[in-house]
Amino acid sequence: MSATSSSLLQSVIDAHGGREYWETIQSLKVEFEFSGLALEMKGQPGPHDVKLIVDTKVQKVTILQFGDYYGSWTPTQTEVGKIGSKDPVDVRKTPKDVFDDYTAETKWDVHNLFWFVGYAYWNYFNFPFYLETPEIQTREVDGPTRENGEKWTSLEVVFPDGYPTHTKVQKYDFDAGYRLMRMHYSVDVMKRNVPSWHNCYNHTVAGKYLYPTLRVVSSSVPGMTFFSPFTLRGIKIEVNHV
């Protein structure tokens, strides 16, 4: 990690409430509406009402509600149950392994969906504090200049092999207040290898924790002039302290 990236990352962490405050948080209760054309393409059409408990100490997401389902995600296991059913939850070990044989056209079952949203949500709602993990490399790179002349700063992030995230190399753009404005990545499990721009809007705070209340993903797909695969709308967070 370079001195410049360390300085930028520290500024971002401070803007999001600071490490000292974050250490007092055990989990986040998160609610929002999740929708997008990619869900329909994968056989899991929305919109879905989502309620989560996102752990801040370990990589775990408890899914209280995802449409008609509930369950949990960890890097090594997904659990899926049907809301209102008396049947026990169904457990899948090493859930990422099944994606090895998938193609871009493969439909997903709910375990596939929970693997994808589980790691995505854990990273989204633990941002930016997990970026201090020693195995994750960061460096400041040239940021874009907006149409109105506003200059953003950017952080390139390289994740270690096997880390549960969208793809190994990603980029994060910040405005002058170090708010996360845009994420750049592709989604490996989608098997399309197309760039995505994940835009963040309407920031607010829960306690001291800064977060966007609207996230809209756009992708560049051949033959489609505009493609918005995912939207997280009306995000509300409650902070649960240790």
Task: Check: CB of residue 185 under 8 Å from CB of residue 198.
Answer: yes
The mean per-residue pLDDT over the stretch 178-207 comes to 95
In this prediction, residue 222 carries a pLDDT of 67
Residue with tokens 């509600």: 65
Kindly tell me if the per-residue pLDDT of 227 is higher than 80.
no
Residues 6 or more apart from 212 whose CB is under 8 A from it?
Answer: 179, 180, 200, 201, 202, 203, 235
Average pLDDT for 222-227: 65
Q: What is the mean pLDDT of the chain?
A: 94
Global confidence as pTM: 0.95
Give the pLDDT confidence of 134-177 residue by residue, as tens digits. Answer: 999 999 999 999 888 899 999 999 999 999 999 999 999 999 99
Could you tell me which CATH number the domain at 3-241 has?
2.50.20.10
- Extents of the domains making up the chain: 3-241
Indicate the pLDDT class of residue 3, thresholds 50, 70 and 90. Answer: very low
Asked if 127 and 121 touch (Cβ cutoff 8 Å), the reply is: no
As given in the structure block, the two tokens for residue 37 are 């054309």
pLDDT at 241 over 90: yes
**What confidence tens digit (pLDDT) does each residue in 97-134 have?**
999 999 999 999 999 999 999 999 999 999 999 999 99
